[in-house]
Structure 1
Amino acid sequence: IQGRSIRFKHGKFNALIGLLQTSGFFLFTSWAVLHAGAGKTSVLVFIMPFWTLLLAWIFLGERIQGLQWIAVALALAGLVLILAPWKFQGNHLSSVLAVMAGMIWAVTSILIKRYGKIHALDVFAMTAWQLAIGALPLIAVAWAVPAPPIQWTWQLIVCLIFSGFGATALCWVIWMYILEVLPAGTASMSTLAIPAIAVIGAALQLGEYPAPHETQGMLLVAAALALLSYLGVRQHRCDEPVLGQE
């Protein structure tokens, strides 16, 4: 519509982001949700803002200050309660995969932010190519792993369309744009409502209710996310007069 070119540029970088952000993130998230509750998996994945804060501090010079450290501590305490490492029985692979998915997302956010400071990136072209490249390993895995035949229904088709075009393509374009205009740590806060929606939805639709220690961990994570969100809004309000004077 806008006449933009989606010519393949920054090939190595697009391939790296595609393999990490599409292949790695979706593979680990899908694998985790198969063996753990959707709400729990979402909370573990969306601890991503805290990994982003730490990585942005190290690689982008976005310092963690004041109450942000309390938010990080609350999130890590919540993560420990959710993972419950003292419970050695059972399979913790799904929880580890969910945490790894969040870490991968944080790493790619830092890579995009850092690369974008040096090179001009078109968010539409980059999203298209990283999704296309990242889909290839996922197709190979889907082909190789045994699974029952797909039962095609209109509900499945609607879910695929929504997941493919809305929740994936559109949301990644928006995410790339947010990373382009905001600091990485601040941008990651825009994801904070997702785990809350996932936990409530999993309880209402799937009957998935977390164990007591998981609930305590989720509440700590929620408190940390709320604190980060408050700090982000406060910082934005403090910056507005400065921007207006410029």
Structure 2
Amino acid sequence: MTAVPAAGRAPLSPLGLAFLVVASTGWGLNFPIMKFLLSEWPPLSSRGLCGVVGALALGLVAVARGQTLRVPPGMWWRLALVSTLAIGGWVASMGLALIWLRASEAAVLGITIPVWVALVAWPVLGERVSLPRALSLAVALAGIAALIGGGGLDASLGKLPGILFALAGAVCVGLGTVLTKSFKLAMPPLSLAAWQLAIGCVPIAIIGVLIEQPQLVALSRFGWASMIYMTLIQFCLCYVCWFAALERLPAATASIGTLLVPVVGVLAAAAMLREPLSTSDVAALVVTFAAVAVALRT
């Protein structure tokens, strides 16, 4: 995600809001789709290969829009570090997390990213952890506790690896986001996204193919549809709409708008996968929302 100038008190662009809704809805629907795909294909192979193809498609979109794919001299190592964390860490960790977690649980844990951004910004950017930011972290931990304790001790221990993977992915994105701000990667947004996807997903795809040895014949027509969705919608359309929204909306508005992602994820998981919508899920969603709201306001 790229920082944009604040738009002041100018009226919000209806087209920008429409782009934001499309991106957030597409990312939210991806959680139950990823969960379904795990029943046919392993996580690293599916996520990695979709990301590689998505990177190629996004690169073509960038070139079609007149954006150069050239990486400025001296920026490769910074681009590689940020991409490995923000994309590679997220893609691998969240894919593995879904082995133990329901799609709705992964969606809730995924929106803790702004909290980790606020926390990581302290040592990296020198932004002190204010009282509101510390409060947001405490509230986020309360939301995670509600998610862990919802099914009793046995259930909590059973999904603990998934929770740790999901949190690791969120922390990686938080660290990658802060480093992106610190490094000031001077590239067109779509070109930057294409390179980040490629650098982050190629190693995961290679590791997945070598270790998991996926078989194309294992994919049903719904599995292929899921792969196509992850490639064209999650990695391509959603990113194009996200950057289009950033061009038309204040960054704060766009960030808050992404809170639609877990709502869509939780509701879509209930509708598409028949996942139960428990009281602990709702409590975790509400509490985590509160934490993110505090983090965004500070």
TM norm. shorter chain > 0.5: yes
The TM-score normalised by the length of structure 1 is 0.75
The AA in structure 2 aligned to 1:74 is V
Deviation at 1:195, TM superposition (A): 0.9
- Structure 2: which 5+ runs fail to align? 1-63
- The structure-2 alpha-carbon separation of the partners of 1:67 and 1:91, relative to structure 1 and needing over 3 Å to count, comes to closer
Q: Distance in 2 between matches of 1:52 and 1:190?
A: 17
Q: Distance in 2 between matches of 1:54 and 1:177?
A: 26
- Structure 1: which 5+ runs fail to align? 233-246
- The structure-2 alpha-carbon separation of the partners of 1:47 and 1:92, relative to structure 1 and needing over 3 Å to count, comes to same
- The structure-2 alpha-carbon separation of the partners of 1:211 and 1:2, relative to structure 1 and needing over 3 Å to count, comes to closer
* CA RMSD, Structure 1 to Structure 2 (Å): 3.3
The TM-score normalised by the length of structure 2 is 0.64
Q: Please give the per-residue CA displacement for 1:13-55, whole angstroms capped at 9, x wherever unaligned.
A: 2221222222221111111112210000111121111111222
User: Aligned runs of 1:177-216 on 2, under 5 Å?
Assistant: 178=246, 188-216=255-283
Deviation at 1:149, TM superposition (A): 4.4
1:75 counterpart = 2:143: no
1:106 counterpart = 2:174: yes
- The structure-2 alpha-carbon separation of the partners of 1:49 and 1:198, relative to structure 1 and needing over 3 Å to count, comes to same
Q: Distance in 2 between matches of 1:78 and 1:130?
A: 30
Deviation at 1:73, TM superposition (A): 3.1
User: Aligned runs of 1:137-156 on 2, under 5 Å?
Assistant: 137-143=203-209, 144-147=211-214, 149-156=216-223
The AA in structure 2 aligned to 1:122 is P
Please tell me whether the aligned partners of residues 189 and 228 of structure 1 are also in contact (alpha carbons under 8 angstroms): no
Q: Distance in 2 between matches of 1:161 and 1:62?
A: 41
Q: Larger RCO: Structure 1 or Structure 2 (Cα < 8 Å, ≥ 6 residues apart)? A: 2
- The structure-2 alpha-carbon separation of the partners of 1:24 and 1:176, relative to structure 1 and needing over 3 Å to count, comes to farther
Q: Distance in 1 between matches of 2:102 and 2:288?
A: 17
Q: Distance in 1 between matches of 2:70 and 2:133?
A: 40
Q: Distance in 2 between matches of 1:113 and 1:226?
A: 21
The AA in structure 1 aligned to 2:263 is A
Corresponding residue pairs, total: 227
User: Aligned runs of 1:85-104 on 2, under 5 Å?
Assistant: 87=153, 89-104=157-172
Q: Distance in 1 between matches of 2:130 and 2:237?
A: 33
Match of 2:193 in 1: 127
Q: Distance in 2 between matches of 1:93 and 1:66?
A: 30
- The structure-2 alpha-carbon separation of the partners of 1:67 and 1:19, relative to structure 1 and needing over 3 Å to count, comes to closer
Match of 1:165 in 2: 232
